[in-house]
Structures are given as C-alpha cells and as structure tokens.
A and B are shown apart, each in its own frame.
Chain A
Amino acid sequence: MEALILEIKTAGLHSYHELEKDQIRVGRALDNDIILSDPTVAPHHLRITRLEDGQIHLENLSTVNPSHFKGKADASFHHDQLPIDFKLGRITAAILPRDHVVEDTRSLAGNGHSFHLFGNLIWAILLPLACLLVGAMEFYLDSYKVIKWDALFAYVLRETALGLAAYIVGLSIIERLLVNRWEIKLVTTCACLVYLLYVLAAALISQVSYFYSSHWPLILFDTGWMLFLIPTAISLYLIHISHLKSGRSVLLAIFISSPFSLPAIMDDSMLKYLIDDFSTAADYHKALAPLNWHLSETVPIDKFIQQAKQLDSGQFVD
C-alpha cells in the first residue's frame, strides 16, 4: 500500500509523520499514535483509517472543535483523492502522498558569500554606524551655531538611534512571529538601508523640487514613500528574505506599514492640495538650493512684471 504522510503546519518548521499503520489516532492524550500538544485539539480528536480499496476514512472522535472536511464537520468522511486538507482545532494539517511535489528551493539571503549585504554581521554593524553618521551630518547641516558635542549626541540618540532601534526591535518581533526565528542581522541591515535610502532620496527630491520650482515632487515623494515605498520594501523583505508567499507578504506589508501610512494619509499635504483646504499662509515656493539649477529662465524685471499681470486670483473656499 502507498506510503502516506500527515503534515502538521506550524508558524515555524512543519512536522511530518508517516502513517505506517492502517488505523491511526491523533489527539492531545499521550496514548495517541500522533500527539499534538495544542490546547484546541481534543484528547482523542481524529481517527484516520486506510481502507483496502485505497480510500481514506476520517472520523471525528470529539464534539469539541471537530475537524472540518470540505467545509463540513461531519462525524466521518470518505476520501479517495490526495492531498486531504483539514484542521485539528486551530492546527492546519494535510494527508499527502510520499511523492507529493514540494516547492522549489529558495536562495538563502546572503547566498553563502561572507561579504554579502544581507545577514552578514559586518554589515549589520557598519550600516547602523553609517546611519548614526548620517544622523550626525543632518544635525551639523541644520545647525547654525557653534556645535556642542552634548547637543550632537542628544540629537543623534533621539532622532536616529532610538528611532532606528525601535524599527529594528519592532520588525524583529514581527519576523519572529512570522518565521519563528530571530533575524536581527537581516532586519538591522534592511532597516538601515531603508533609512539611508530615504535620506538620499529626500535630498535628491528637494533638488528636483527646486529645479521645477514646484511643491509636487516633495508632496509625491512624501506620499509615495509612506503609501507605496514602505509597503513595497516590507513586501520585498517578506518575499525574498523571510520567504513568505507573495499574496500574504503584500497583505502583511500593508498591515505592518499602516501605523505609518494612515497618519500620513490623514495629514497629507497632497490631500490638502486636492481638497482645496483654506490657509491664511501664502504657500509660495520657499526652497533655496546651493546648487542653483532651475528649469525656468531668468527674466528681466519688466518681463517678470508682464508675466505677473497674468497671475490668477486666489481661489475661494466654499
């Protein structure tokens, strides 16, 4: 008779039991053939019987949390096709043939190379240091007084180190819940890369905004970063590093990023532009860049006055 396997799925590694006997009992009690310690599983939960004609008979032994077969919680059920998916309490299980095809092997993040970016201890140390350095640089560039070391350290600790640490701890916990492993090196590397990418992109976008003398590049970047880039980065992480399935990864990424994206939507300058909110402030383009590249030509005063005559009236808000 064909060898069958009972697959017990968990958040971490799944467990597999060969069904060696014709009749096997599954449950939480210690006299079962297969013991599941989950509290939602009954002491004697399910009996699996292999019939002579090759069919499989599944019989619920418990009225509490009975197993569902094809959506029904019948006392017993006959199956002639594999795999058979069912639940034991909250545990997902399946009966599979031994030659059941498994998914392709996914490449290990880091691919075994000692200096690969992901999962390497050296990068997990160097990248946070780079982040702190960038934080210190931000303080230096935005400070117009004599630099005091205590103020610099306080800023870097408050604005960069604590923020980054909170992200790393939070994401590590989520990672632990998802794949049952602590992936602190990977999470640290990814969080730092996202932070550095953000700082670099923000600087570039500011220059683009100055070039076009328009708020839109910054508004689109801020909105896009919160609404699309953060969820996309998390999705890519979950798919390529945590090796979760694509659909699940996207949903999880949206869920994980929602604490950042929802406030961004609620207080978004793009929305304020679109809904024509009232403001007493003149929202003119204030950016002044050391790199004085701009798309508009430089005009003489009289030409400016001619063009300024065409400036439309302000819009009334109903």
Chain B
Amino acid sequence: MLNRETGKKSSIGSGFIVGDGSQVVTNYHVIGQIIQEPERFYISFLSRDGHEGELHIEALDVAHDLALLRSETMIGEATRSSDLPPQGAPVFAMGNPLDLGLSIAVGTNGGILNQTDDSRILFSGSLNPGMSGGPTFNDQGEVIGINVATARNDISFIVPARFLNNLMAQQAIGELTNEAALKAEVSRQIIEYESGYIEQILNRDWSSVELRQLTLPGIISPTIRCWDNSAKLNTSALYKRFQIRCANKNNVYLDDTNQFVGDLSYEYYWLESEQLNHIRFYNLYEKLNKDQIENRLNEDVVSNFNCDTWFINIASQEFKANMCRREYVEYQGLSDVLFTAAMLGHANKGFFITFIMTGVNYQSTLPLVQRILEHIEWKP
C-alpha cells in the first residue's frame, strides 16, 4: 500500500500471480487500508525481477481474508494450485517478512481447523509480518493455500486454496474505487457469510450441557469451544458461582479501525447461596448483572447501544431479559448484538445467560437467540 502524496510504502504484504498472468492474490487485510481511504492510498506490486505497477481490486472474499487484484499489464506466469497434502506433509510458505526480501518458511501441514469454520489450515511453521498474502506450496511447487496469520511459536494459519478458486470464479466486482461502494461490498459479504454461518448452526443438532438445575445448549457448532470460566472465590464468600463460556474462533477481519468482527459467544452463570438472605442475595445478583461487549470502539466507528427490556417465560421460569444492538457507522447493516437474561423468582438461586455476536445482521441473530432459549430446560 502506497500513499499517493508521498509515494512511500504505508504497509506491505505478499501476493502471487494467478489466472491469466495479470491477476494477483493477497490477503484482504493487506489492502484493508484502501477500504478506509481509497483516495489516499493505492496498491502497487514489486515483482521478484524488479518490475513495479499499480493493482486494482477485482474481487474480494472478506470472510476468508482474500483479495483478487488485477494489473493493467501482464506480470508473469500464474502459479498452479492443488489440494491439501496429507496431514504432516511438509509445506513451504513464501513471503516478504518485515520487507527483508522473499524468503521461505518450512513447516508441516497441521490439517484443516474445523473450529475456524474450515477456513484455516494449521501450519506448523513460522509466518512473520509481511508474509501475509504469500503462497504456501506443497513439495511439487503447487499452491495449497495463502498465508494469513500467526499465533507465534510456529503456530500459523493458511487459507485453503479452494477459497482462492471460489474467488477466481466470482464475477469481478467492477471498479470499486470509492469508499462507500467498497464498504457496501464488504458489508454485503460479511452479512452473507455470517447469515450462512448462523444458518449452519441452526441446521445442526446441538449438544447439551448441565449446570445445576438447568440443561443448556452446549457445543452448537464445530467452531465453538466451551470452557469452565468459574472464578476462584474467597473462603469467606457466602455464595457459590459456576460459569461456562462458549465462544467461536472464526473472526473476520473488517478493517484497520474495527479490526475483527464475527464473534459469537454465550455464557452461563449460576449463582447460589444458603447463607445470604433474600435481599442480600439479590443485591449480589444485581451487581453481577453487568455483561458488556468488550472492545474500545469510539463514536466514529459505532453507534450507541439501543436496549429494551422484556420479562420472558423460559423453561417455565421467569427471566428478565435485555436485548441491545448497536450499528457500525460505515458498514450499513452490520450490528453488534448483546442479549442477557436473568432468572427470577428464587430466593437464593440465580442464573444469567449472555449471548453476544459482533458484526452481524441483527435480524439474522434472532432465530439463534430463540433456539438457544428454547433449548433450555429446568429440573425442579
């Protein structure tokens, strides 16, 4: 990415030639700055043999962090792609780490990660900043994926090449040179992806988890992992609490400011006490009713939350529920959703459920909330 005023690099990434020899694939997050300020930046390539030129966006796959770019001139020969080699096979990630020049990181194929909605391959090798968008080859020199992220300590992630094929098959989105049109396209793709993701979850059978007198939705998608989140209590505490938190791992990069969206999490919180009287118990119960979406976005990025309160009958128990939503300023149709519900009517037992989704179409989350609530069972 180069600044039009200074002509200097603002950020770097890697890419490789595909298609007819004038197309280049990289990560969407590598060119994310142009979504924010297309008038200020432009995309340029520097080939291994020293050729330079400008690139334009031809197609995007925001959900899988891919961008297809086109040069007005031929750049070189396209690389061939292939299926994923067997798990444990050696693979080679190529890129321009820290702008130090082309280099190859050797590692092994760790297989498709189902907790990322099958959108990532685990690469047991070392990817570094600047290698994003570069190709990962098998030992035949065929592209099996695109470098995308790292969690350090030789744990890195690759986008499978099949998404590249989908991207190539996409109709060109045309000249999206203005900010509004680019953002509208990004919003459309994220909404489509997240709605499909929710649809998949709704079409599955869900496992259940037991928490004291309640049966609750457990793993509702392979992308979800559940953890015990119960905090250690002081020995003088007059109550007990048990927490389970379930969350997904398939976040979607939106832009430099917003970073990632696509969080889906739900949390269960059971509270009980034999020593606290009714009033003391409810004082504590109310104090713990404070769930929020944790991020530090400002008013340039999101709206204020709008919330409303309901009293709902869930599994023959009365709950006080709140539904809140806020909108993304520059991405029409994208919302963050927070739903909380607290069980009422018991002198010394309490239960909260919290559901959060970020960067999603608000209406499409409601069937998921409904299914979660309908899954709950109470054991007297």
Contact = CB atoms under 8 A, between A and B. Distances in A.
Question: Are A and B co-members of a single complex?
Answer: yes
A301 B370 contact: yes
B286 interface: yes
Interface residues on B, range: 35 or more
A107 interface: no
B81 interface: no
Nearest to A310: B308
A19 B335 CA distance: 86
B237 to A, nearest CB: 6
A261 to B, nearest CB: 27
B276 A144 contact: yes
B292 to A, nearest CB: 6
Contacts of B285: 288
B327 interface: yes
B308 A311 contact: yes
Contacts of A311: 306, 308, 323, 325, 362
Nearest to B297: A280
Interface string A91-119: 00000000000000000000000000000
Interface stretch (B43-51, B164-172, B340-348): B340-348
B283 A284 contact: no
B193 interface: no
B274 to A, nearest CB: 13
Contacts of A312: 306
A149 interface: no
B279 to A, nearest CB: 6
Interface residues on A, range: 35 or more
B282 A290 contact: yes
B8 interface: no
A71 interface: no
Interface in A274-318: 276, 278-290, 292, 294, 296-302, 304-305, 307-309, 311-317
State the 9 A-B residue pairs at the shortest beta-carbon distance, nearest first: A314-B303, A284-B322, A314-B326, A278-B299, A284-B307, A282-B305, A282-B324, A145-B236, A213-B309
Interface of A: 140-146, 213, 276, 278-290, 292, 294, 296-302, 304-305, 307-309, 311-317
Interface of B: 234, 236-239, 273, 276, 278-286, 289-290, 292-293, 295-299, 302-314, 318, 320-327, 329, 335, 338, 340, 342, 344-345, 347, 350, 362-363, 366-367, 369-370, 373-374
Given A286-B289, A287-B286, A308-B308, 7 more contacts: A141-B280, A144-B276, A145-B238, A296-B311, A299-B310, A308-B369, A314-B335
